[in-house]
Amino acid sequence: MKTFALLFLSLLYISPAAAAVYKYIDPQGRVYYTDQKKDRSYHLLAKLHFENDHVKHGSSYGMAQFRANKKKFSPLITAAAARYKLEPALIHAVIYVESSYDPEAKSTSDCIGLMQLKPSTARRYGVNDAWPPKDNIRAGSLYLSYLIRLFKGDIRLALAGYNAGENAVLRNNSQIPNYPETRRYVKKVMRYYQKLRRN
């Protein structure tokens, strides 16, 4: 936490319009804090907004906001699950890992929103603007449904395809590619998915 405090204070002296703090845990369990999100394994801890080199206001995306957003978006998730024959728990698990229910999340690879869709993937499913939660969840759920059918009901392969792209899985003889990020991603989503199914 000392490292986080130092990074937080250092952000007060920079002058861009906005800054963020991300947390990353490496495979050995070491914790890092940074203002750069390199991939989806970096989780947003706080956002800071600046004006005229001074803090205009600061907001922390903590557990209270997480719970509020989870409740807020649950009806949209339930509706998408029914429409595309998915378990709500699976969509929840993907959103939990992808964005922690933050509809404003954006990765350095331009994946956006709750389900971290690439604009090209969103357009593939008829969504030109993937920021609105309803459209983001709809396109993401439709893509997830397609992947589950493509991989004959194998949810782990579908999740690998969601993270790395279906072609990466197909090129690997329909097995999870040996990408550390993808393997971690599948494990995280499956762990949360199974937890939700038990509750």
Residues tagged active-site:
98
Angle, helix 133-150 to helix 88-99, in steps of 10 degrees: 110
Q: Cα(39)–Cα(173) distance, rounded to whole angstroms?
A: 25
DSSP type of residue 104: T
With vertex at residue 90, the alpha carbon angle to CA 123 and CA 23, rounded to the nearest 5 degrees, is 80
Q: Where do we find the tokens 């989870």?
A: 70
Closest CA to 150 of 136, 128, 165: 165
In total, the chain counts a number of residues equal to: 199
User: What are the structure tokens assigned to 150, written together?
Assistant: 């493509």
Q: Cα(73)–Cα(153) distance, rounded to whole angstroms?
A: 26
